[in-house]
Structure 1
């Protein structure tokens, strides 16, 4: 059981907490541009590649997708069935996906194809087929490979979409304040830019505490990556991390409060409010958010010039990175009786993913989009300024036990209410205790 140590006042704030501490993961706020291609570019590939008649074959696919993305996926499946004669049974597990898949893993009775949704390496690898030899594998971009390529170069999933998290930038505000966001490398640089933006009469940091999120997406820039202040990865993964180095993050984030970088109502505003304020050119940065945020801003005001820069490094020479989450990603059960059909299906999806990408409103990880999304344009523009940027899985997903997301949210509420040294110590202890509990529970 998670240990809660909060009073009613703190808990009220916790329910609204997420982003400053958390460098919060932005939810999908608007569909990104991109027109589905109904011409089914890969319609003949599946049958020809297999060299056999698939008529009468049946495969089972499990999905957690919903809404428009699920509808687009169903269309791809229907087209594949029509072209190949394969019958697809689609299991829509929805909110029960995690528990259902864990039960099926325990009995070693898995669907022929199932969505890995961020866990192809961390959770499902031992049940999946290596797909690194497939034709589409060489077409995946660096954003995808940074998340799904194993240390031995194996791939266990076809990743068609992903969420890309960096720092959203209002270029209009930066220009008015005399700030070049492309020159920002470190958190020290970031604060210097914020000082200039505040002096020019704008709000530097528009992060908000009412989005569901976690104390996660920027943590690697202090704790995990080459050239940073600490490298605690091994301890994080084996359950022995004592969290003491986490204090450097709290010390830094305190400067956002002390220097007046945030909106005064950052504890109550919602993402929609921040989108509107950014569209009105009131604020400069939202740290650790996905490209759907910028898409929503320009939808309200096409005159606003937005950009995305990577997460800052903790010191000069440190890592510049963006967090990537697997979106619509599909793997093949290693013990399927229909391996040939399953590989043909993934090949088909790889060439007909436009509709899925457009519906998801995220970045595409394959070169099959007929219309490049706004998110992809932002990501590629960032790469042109930061050619050494690298992509890694979301920090909490890669290094923390399952269940820490909500724990980070509570911790954010604690820190939002009180940034004293005593509060920092309580935050660290709270995180450590729950991390230990969840890690031990995961070993059972």
Structure 2
């Protein structure tokens, strides 16, 4: 079935290209008008509407340039792999977290553009290299942490936790004071990528940010001792044993989270994004807050996990590179930075715009907290996300122990590093 799906995706890819989507044919003969091709990973209507609005404004101001935007959804990565293999990229494309590792050799250097001076320094390590090359323009930035029900925490006398010990204690208080009516930590594990997301976020405080317990260099050079990964699995097993997770953790779907939060049935969840505004729309009495990922080791600080969420990179060999950069510069105007950040319920990646979205007060409260890159994107070889997904689900199903999970991670890590 997977092979059939892949063939269908590839058929769709070639059909799109045959219809004239390739960058080599982007300049049309319509009175010298240039058509730029743009691919994005934006998935929901609100996100797409924000970008399409900026595109429409640009086309009004630049009648000689048209932008053909495409949103391939789940087929995005397959399409881009085909394009990279043919060295025929889009004029503009979303690097979705892989601006350097996957797409670095295809993107133009944007360091001389006007907006670079306004780039949030938190994104420097993600979008710049040691030479100063800037790989992509960030339309917004991700600050992933833990979402929580503000009213419930106030009701139970719980302060937003700053450490992992405080977090576990908070979950226990919810369980006891709600007498089981509220799920302390709700995980939509029926889609195993959501379990991988949790492992990806907590790996940073366990393995990266603390000076005495930082193993980033070892993960990068292949010398990491994977027994140190046991503690992540042990935490998840402990939470399940203490009955601090939803009983349907292995079958729950993310589509359920909004209604459950609106009904005050969830205290904490790693689901973020539009959860807050969507839940409040269903029940105006509900307010969803967000906190950075708690610190694990004594003396360490909390961390936001994220970096680039949606980006625009320009293909370095595009015949329309000047026009592509022109659109990027237009998107970086303060009014457009604001429009896209608010339309995607995210924080702005540039400091030149005041953004007011659902979570603004929480981002302001934790504005000094550093944004760390996604663990798998920086420290693991490509392909490890699916391993984190399946092993995490097997752990919660009881078919793997924490040590066995670490062993499988190590085996796949070593295998994929050789590819």
- Name the TM tier (shorter chain): 0.7 to 0.9
Q: Does 1:394 align with 2:374?
A: yes
Q: Does 1:382 align with 2:366?
A: yes
Larger displacement relative to structure 2 (68-77 or 321-330): 68-77
Please tell me whether residue 114 in structure 1 is matched to residue 97 in structure 2: no
Q: 2:125, 2:359 → 1: CA distance?
A: 18
Check whether the contact 1:163–1:363 (CA below 8 A) recurs between aligned residues.
Answer: yes
TM-score after normalising by structure 1: 0.75
Which residue of 174, 198, 215 maps to 2:175?
198
Q: Do 1:216 and 1:396's aligned partners in 2 also have CA atoms closer than 8 Å?
A: yes
Equivalent in the alignment of 1:323: 305
Q: 1:413 to 1:424 in 2, by over 3 A?
A: same
Higher relative contact order (CA 8 A, sep 6+): 1
Q: Is 1:62 the equivalent of 2:42?
A: no
The structural deviation recorded for 1:311 is 0.4
Q: What residue number does 1:163 align with? A: 142
Cα separation, partners in 2 of 1:291 and 1:375, compared to 1, 3 Å = farther
Give, in angstroms, the shift of residue 416 of structure 1: 0.8
- Equivalent residue, structure 1, for 2:4: none
Helix, strand or coil for the counterpart of 2:316?
coil
> Which SS does the other structure have where 2:261 is aligned?
helix
**For the structure 1 residues 379 and 98, does the alpha-carbon distance in structure 2 shift closer, same or farther, using more than 3 Å as the test?**
same
* Partner SS, residue 372 of structure 2: strand
Q: Which residue of 1 aligns with 2:70?
A: 92
Map residues 265-414 of structure 1 onto 2, 5 A cutoff. 265-286=248-269, 288-351=270-333, 352-366=336-350, 372-383=356-367, 387=368, 389-414=369-394
Tell whether the 8 Å contact from 1:131 to 1:156 is kept in structure 2 after alignment: yes
Distance 1:120 1:198, change over 3 A: same
- Corresponding residue of 2:247: 264
1:314 positional shift: 1.2
- Return the offset for 1:283: 3.2
Instruction: Quote how far apart the aligned CAs of 1:70 are.
Output: 3.9
Deviation at 1:217, TM superposition (A): 1.9
* Partners of 2:359 and 2:218 in 1: CA distance: 35
Distance 1:277 1:98, change over 3 A: closer
Is the contact between residue 147 and residue 391 of structure 1 (CA under 8 Å) also seen in structure 2?
Answer: no
CA contact (8 A) 2:40 2:310 kept: no
Q: What's the CA shift for 1:256?
A: 0.9
1:295, 1:151 → 2: CA distance? 39
Instruction: Report deviation, 1:334.
Output: 3.0
RMSD (CA atoms): 2.9
Q: Distance in 2 between matches of 1:185 and 1:73?
A: 35
Distance 2:56 2:289 in 1: 37
Asked if the contact 2:97–2:307 (Cα under 8 Å) also holds between the matched residues in 1, the reply is yes
Greater displacement, 264-273 / 301-310 = 264-273
> What is the total number of aligned residue pairs between the two structures?
377
**Conserved in 1, the CA contact under 8 Å of 2:202 and 2:232?**
no
Tell me the secondary structure at the aligned position of residue 332 of structure 2: helix
Kindly tell me: are residues 61 and 180 of structure 1, through their superposed partners in 2, closer, same or farther at Cα, counting changes over 3 Å?
same
Listed as ranges, the gaps of 5+ residues in structure 2 are 1-30
Distance 1:225 1:236 in 2: 13
